[in-house]
C-alpha cells in the first residue's frame, strides 16, 4: 500500500489514472508521516515554485499546512513498530522494491 496526504478524491483519481495495482490510502494532516518522523514543512520560497508549476499542496491535501512526507518506504509491524526504513530527502529518489522485499523476507524468517 501507499500513503499520501492528499484528500481521498485526489488519491482515487490518481489510482485510476495511473492504474495502480495497490491501495493508496489518505493521511489527512500527515499524521502518519509525523508519527514516523518523515513529515516536513515546505519552505516559503519552494511554495512559490510549486504554485508556479500548478502544484497546489493545500488544495490537494485539504489543509493549508504546506506539509509533505519525505520519500520513504517503511515496514511497520502489526503493533505499529517501525522495523525497516528507506528514507530520502530527494523526492525523485525512490527505494528499489527488491530491497524492501528482501527485508520483508529477512524479518519474516527471523
20: CATH: 3.40.30.10
**pLDDT beyond 90 at 54:** yes
Q: Which of the pair, 75 or 96, is modelled with greater confidence?
A: 75
Q: Grade residue 92 by pLDDT with cuts at 50, 70 and 90.
A: confident
For residue 27, the number of C-alpha atoms closer than 13 Å in the C-beta half-sphere is 19
pTM for this predicted structure: 0.83
| Residue 103 confidence (pLDDT) | 93
35 grid coordinates: 508519527
Domains identified in the chain, total number: 1
Structural domain that includes position 82:
2-109
The SS3 call for residue 67 is strand
The pLDDT, as a whole number, for residue 25 is: 95
pLDDT at 96: 82
DSSP letter assigned to residue 29 = G
Instruction: Give the pLDDT of residue 42.
Output: 95
* Residues above pLDDT 90, as percent of the chain: 86
Average pLDDT of every residue of the chain: 93
Long-range contacts of 80-86 (CB under 8 A, 24+ apart): 80/35, 82/36, 83/107, 85/36
Amino acid at each position: 500500500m501507499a500513503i499520501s496526504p492528499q484528500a481521498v478524491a485526489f488519491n482515487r483519481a490518481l489510482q485510476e489514472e495511473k492504474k495502480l495495482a495497490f491501495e493508496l490510502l489518505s493521511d489527512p494532516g500527515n499524521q502518519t508521516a509525523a508519527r514516523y518522523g518523515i513529515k516536513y514543512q515546505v519552505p516559503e520560497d519552494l511554495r512559490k515554485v510549486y504554485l508556479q508549476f500548478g502544484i497546489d499542496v493545500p488544495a490537494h491535501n485539504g489543509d493549508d499546512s504546506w506539509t509533505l512526507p519525505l520519500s520513504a518506504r517503511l515496514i511497520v509491524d502489526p503493533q505499529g513498530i517501525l522495523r525497516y526504513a528507506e528514507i530520502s530527502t530527494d523526492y525523485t529518489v525512490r527505494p528499489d522494491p527488491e530491497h524492501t522485499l528482501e527485508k520483508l523476507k529477512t524479518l519474516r524468517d527471523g
